[in-house]
Structure 1
Amino acid sequence: LASAAFAVLFMVAMMMYGMNTRLMLTEMLPFMYILLRIVPLVKYIHSQRGEIITRRPYVDRVYELLRRDNKPFIQDGSENFPGLRREIRFQSVSFDYHGGSKSILQDVDFTLPAGKTTAIVGDSGAGKSTIVSLLLRLYDPRSGEILLDETPLKNFRLAAYHRKVGIVSQDTFLFNDTVKFNITFGVDQMPPDDRMIAAAQKAGAHEFIQALPKGYDTVVGDRGVQLSGGQRQRLAIARAIIRDPDILILDEATSSLDTLTERRIHQAITELSLGRTVIIIAHRLSTIQDADQIIVLKEGRVAEIGDAKNLLAQKGEYFKLVNAL
């Protein structure tokens, strides 16, 4: 391409020279100088063309992320969230993801009593994770209402509400920073060390943290690569404890752990759950036998509600899930 450009420009110069016999050599030299300066730029542009083509898919992905016309935006509320006193209620809630043809949740009704533990179970795709997304207000229902002590969730300021909510999920995210930073991340004011250590002790993390090369000042690596899965989960629980949330969401928090580690994590979760409103999204049903209430979802609807003993006696959907394991 650069050679072709040079040839074209040179031919233009010759034609100009042929048409104008009075064009002197001194007049040609600046033209040739400019021509020689342009050639490297043309070469550079040509070389970058391949880079642009190679990186086009990444640019398209960023464009999709930044587009505003293909995603819902959550409007912030105006009220401060004072904390949960009585209950969370899903009232005829239906939901489908933007542009989806199938409803994920259909006319869902249930109540989560304050200070109690509720487990939500069901087959893959039943709508369990969608309920978590709605509770965190990542989305709003297509129809129906989510009420906190009779006040619509959408009325509360998101920042104030999220301060009262803690979540421990299967995929624990840790920063490439110290143990101390990861435990205290998200807290408005840096807590004293004794409070941080107390949170780690309740989470069953203090012992292994002390064994690290620099204790609480040890850098855990990108996404906590220096730690085991169980250790990462215990740091996540310590992070939730130090936030002192009113509402605690455990989204498949132990599904990827071995039995021994799961038992230890379960003990830490039991400590964390005392006096809080806890919602457990469970894959292993053995971890929810002591839940005050179990909600069974089937194809986006509530199939059954009750405790483990009563649901087993009914021999319905929960009974089928238990016996399918």
Structure 2
Amino acid sequence: MKGYIEDGAWLSCSFDLAGTPKQLKRHLDKEDNKVQYSNGKRLLTVADKNTSECFKCKLAAKKWGGLLSLVGGIVVGVALVFSGPVGWIALGALAVVAIGTTIAVFAHDCADPQSGGNWINFHQTTFIKGKEAILYNKSILECKDLGLLIASETEAQAQTVSDKMKWQARGELGLQILSNSLIGFVTGYGMFDRTPQGLDMDLSTGPLAVASYIHTDFVHPEYSWQQSTLVGLGYTSANFGLGSVHRINRMPDWSKNLGTEISLQDLGVAALTTGIGAGSDYLEGELANSSNSIVQELSASVSGISGKKIVSSNY
């Protein structure tokens, strides 16, 4: 049997980079008659989703850290083409990426109270002021940003749960930054194909790589690694398609720099960036599933949901 969740219960989040539990608080609507134990603590329901402080969420850190790494990698790749050794240009670009990523990780909090989330595994027959009661280590709050949160009675218990999940979240962030740095570097370097006539520029590759990233990581972060890979291949195909634009009658000469006609270098760049992206997305998905399974298994391990006795109901 698990007790009803009280005001101030400790929440652990599967998306939390810091691995620091936060306290669950009552929702924002004013209520005159509180449901309480004899010790005076208010009982919470499916309407209660706010935390005392915001978690350090991996989702925004991955979004912005990955984008900054991708752009920084493109800059470094282009710098190598024009300046030979990396030198101060590449180091400067890497410094910008490092600073920007640090800001994204440590300055971000959950954007809003968890008003968009939903509780599952709540009590089916106990209602408090017309709302279903929620239970320690049984009920799960599904965050609107896809994270899973579960409540423990003490901070120490919640810390144990958080400690089991924080390294998976950090691993996802590390993979995101590393993979996008590599994708950006290969993309930036591959935008310029050396020919006997000079450099053959492909000016759309970089912008399309950024557009593909925004599509999968900002607009649809719920995509599986297979879906993200298909989106990336779609943008790559669009880039190759643009290579024929300049052959259309009356198109200006500058259009030949949009897209690329297929060469061995272009195929190599496409294969390498697609492979890095798919591999990273797969590993990140495995880490995310590992964190979620900790919450789901904890919830499933509790068979009884009768809860503690309500001392004062005041419906």
The TM-score bracket by the shorter chain reads under 0.3
Identify the structure with the greater helix proportion.
2
TM-score (norm 1): 0.22
TM-score (norm 2): 0.22
Tell me which of the two structures has the higher relative contact order, counting C-alpha pairs closer than 8 angstroms and 6 or more residues apart.
2
> Who wins on radius of gyration, i.e. which is larger?
1
